[in-house]
A and B are shown apart, each in its own frame.
Chain A
Amino acid sequence: QQQVKQSPQSLIVQKGGISIINCAYENTAFDYFPWYQQFPGKGPALLIAIRPDVSEKKEGRFTISFNKSAKQFSLHIMDSQPGDSATYFCAAKTNAGKSTFGDGTTLTVKP
């Protein structure tokens, strides 16, 4: 039973383009939705996060869009750069402390 579904599994974008990764969740008890970025040989690191009381959060070129009624959220990377090439994980957390992660998206930004 997968509580957080992430798509696509892999994504190739040209430099300067927009990268979009989508996640959907089932559990309405989730109250925190982070995105993590992982480079090869490193552990994941928090990129940006949102709580369900807002519909959008922007930090630089990274934006989370959140649709509470549809139980979906997405990561948009504007002006994608080769340095953004990494694996991205969405996650959802309840106040009980456990996080559930999506399966990950491997992003390749071509120069």
Chain B
Amino acid sequence: DVKVTQSSRYLVKRTGEKVFLECVQDMDHENMFWYRQDPGLGLRLIYFSYDVKMKEKGDIPEGYSVSREKKERFSLILESASTNQTSMYLCASSSPPGAGGTSYEQYFGPGTRLTVT
């Protein structure tokens, strides 16, 4: 079974704090993604990574950065948390097409609900 784990289920931080959200996958997937989920807005892509040390901006990268030092781990960093970053954050991983298994399927973690006060 594919497993994507996120370091915290719930997190409360103060405005201006630096926040780290960690994600680990155990399927040796090349691709990893960070989304935020807000009611009525679906899933919006923040950043994604095709390989170690590689990253690309998604649709809403402002205020976020990422780090991928090891293949299995993808971190989302809020340099200076703000109240408008209160949200559910979802990590996902997938294999590239043709790599075996179900092409394109993304496996999601359980999410981290971040509250910034």
Q: Which A positions have Cβ atoms within 8 angstroms of B?
A: 6, 9, 32, 34, 36, 41-46, 49, 89, 93, 95, 97-104
Contact = CB atoms under 8 A, between A and B. Distances in A.
A101 B48 contact: no
Contacts, number: 55
26 contacts: A32-B103, A32-B104, A42-B110, A43-B4, A43-B92, A43-B108, A43-B109, A44-B90, A44-B108, A45-B108, A46-B105, A46-B106, A46-B107, A49-B104, A49-B105, A89-B42, A89-B43, A95-B97, A97-B31, A97-B48, A97-B96, A100-B45, A101-B42, A101-B43, A103-B42, A104-B42
B48 A98 contact: yes
Contacts of A101: 35, 42-44
Contacts of B45: 98-100
B64 interface: no
Given A9-B40, A42-B110, A98-B45, A93 B104 contact: yes
A4 to B, nearest CB: 8
Interface of B: 4, 31, 33, 35, 40-45, 48, 50, 58, 90, 92, 96-97, 102-111
Contacts of B92: 43
Given A93-B104, A97-B31, A98-B48, A43 B111 contact: yes
Given A42-B111, A89-B43, 5 more contacts: A9-B40, A34-B104, A44-B108, A98-B48, A103-B42
A6 B90 CA distance: 20
A42 B110 CA distance: 5
